[in-house]
Amino acid sequence: MKENQSFKHRIFPALRWIGWALLVQLILINICAAFYAYKLSHFYDKVNQVPFEEMNIFNRSWRIFTGPKYGKQPVGERPGFVTEEVDLQLKNGDHIQGWYGKASDSALGTVIFFHGIGGNRNSLVDEAYSFIHKNYNVLLMDFRAHGSSTSSTSTIGYREGEEVVRCFDHVDARGEKNIYLYGSSMGAVSVLRSIYEYNFRPRGIILDMPFLSLQDYLEARARTLGFPKQPFAFLTTFWLGVERGFNGYKHNSARYAKAVTCPVLLQWGSLDNFVLKQETDAIYEALGSNKKKLVVYTGAMHESFLRKDPLKWKLEIEKFVSENNQ
């Protein structure tokens, strides 16, 4: 009897300490995830940050715990074709800015370009050149918190859907026909989100390497940083949604893709370690369009397919738009 009591006196305090240790660990992990969610969705005009490899062990630990600070990429030189400035106001008062380039008075259509996270309108200038040469007008825009657009917060494709439809309406109001949307990475997700939310139908959409969900996007970030994917991705998805005011677990491209009925060209690189094959397959299968095509660029990573394989890109793009123009 005494031995049983002695055992209980030893085991219960130990279990209590283990419980407290687990609770403290859970709190710390959530604090870390909340910091990361905040940092991932914020972009600043000027960032003076010491390179990670030059930091001491204490500063490195703090950087890992709180996440890096991201700066806006400044807009570079104008492209060689003639452009005019475009400034569009969003419902919350923010402004998005970009360039409109007119191919000719007899243009075959207009292509609106949407860049990826951390980029700006310059990211897709090469693709815009190609369309200008094919006699298509182009519109290159900076998402909110990117380039010259206002705001410092991004929702990684969720509220950016408003910007996509705002650009579409701007071009449509000019009386232009055959309007195509071209999105890269987050830009592709934003295009899908926009069609799902606002129920409009462009002539066609070209989607380069969209991620499947916010949680998949965060898992990819963990992979590239050498972090364990979970619980980092799950908790950061939760906190990013809380901080930005939406359900992060429902930010899903396959869910949005079901609403798409226009022609779709979905493109992916076979060596893309940021957006995996199963993500691309899931989006492709979910697309509601009965006219869709998946093109895989062998040897390509998460990058511009035009620069990686210009011949194949130009053939696929020209075929897509020529088959769908009216």
Q: How many beta carbons lie within 10 A of that of residue 229, not counting itself?
A: 15
Per the DSSP assignment, residues forming a β-bridge with 264 are: 205, 292
Residue 247 lies in a domain: no
Contact 209, 185 (CB under 8 A): yes
Q: Tens of pLDDT along 272-320? A: 999 999 999 999 999 999 999 999 999 999 999 999 999 999 999 999 9
Which pLDDT does position 268 carry in this prediction? 98
Distance CA 75, CA 59 (A): 31
- What is the phi-psi region of residue 245: left when phi exceeds 0, alpha when psi lies from -120 to 50, beta otherwise? left
DSSP for 126-149 reads HHHHHHHHTTEEEEEEPPTTSTT-
What residues pair up with 295 in beta bridges, in sequence order?
267
Query: Residue 164: exposed, middle, or buried by beta-carbon count in 10 A (0-12, 13-18, 19+)?
Result: buried
Tell me the average pLDDT of the chain. 88
Task: Mark whether 294 and 200 lie in a shared domain.
Answer: yes
Q: Is 236 inside any structural domain?
A: no
Six-digit token string for 95:
């402004």
CATH code at position 288: 3.40.50.1820
Residue 150 sits in the same domain as residue 193: yes
Query: If pLDDT is split at 50, 70 and 90, which confidence band does 40 have?
Result: confident
Say whether both 138 and 282 belong to one domain: yes
**Which residue intervals of 41-157 are DSSP H helices?**
57-66, 125-133
Length, in residues, of the chain:
326
229 and 219 Cβ atoms separated by less than 8 Å: yes
Q: Is the pLDDT of residue 23 over 80?
A: no
User: Under a CB-based contact definition with an 8 Å cutoff, are residues 98 and 115 in contact?
Assistant: no
**How many CA atoms within 13 Å lie on the side-chain side of 234?**
5
- For residue 26, being part of any structural domain is answered with yes
Has residue 299 been placed in a domain?
A: yes
Element (DSSP H or E) covering residue 10 = helix 2-40
Q: For 45-81, write each residue's pLDDT tens digit.
A: 876 665 545 666 556 556 555 666 788 888 989 998 9
User: How many separate domains does the chain show?
Assistant: 2
| CA distances (Å), origin 67, targets 31, 213, 237 | 11, 21, 15
DSSP per position, 148-201: T-S-SB--TTSTTHHHHHHHHHHHHHTT--SEEEEEETHHHHHHHHHHHHH---
| pLDDT tens figures, 232-245 | 889 999 999 999 99
Lowest mean pLDDT among 94-98, 99-103, 174-178: 174-178
Q: Could you tell me if 56 and 172 lie in one domain? A: no
- Is 245 a member of any domain? no
Q: Are residues 12 and 113 in the same domain?
A: no
Residues 20 and 41 in one domain: yes
Q: Are 230 and 293 in contact (CB under 8 A)?
A: no
Range of 37's domain? Answer: 2-66
Domain-embedded: residue 231: no
List the one residue out of 324, 260, 265 whose CA is nearest residue 287: 260
Q: DSSP character for 119?
A: -
First vs last Cα of the chain: how many Å apart?
Answer: 90
Q: Which of 282, 291, 134, 268 is closest to 203 using CA atoms?
A: 291
Residue 97 near residue 85, CB atoms below 8 Å: yes
pLDDT digits (tens, 9 = 90+) for 148-195: 999 999 999 999 999 999 999 999 999 998 999 999 999 999 999 999
Distances (CA, A) of 282 to 209, 213, 233, 252: 12, 11, 19, 11
- Give domain status of residue 246, yes or no: no
57 lies in the same domain as 79: no
For residue 212, the tally of other CB atoms under 10 A from its CB is 24
Confidence of residue 32 (pLDDT cuts 50, 70, 90): confident
Q: Is residue 315 part of a domain?
A: yes
Last residue of a domain, one of 66, 97, 120: 66
Residues 7, 112, single domain; the answer is no
Q: Which helix (H) or strand (E) holds 294?
A: strand 292-297
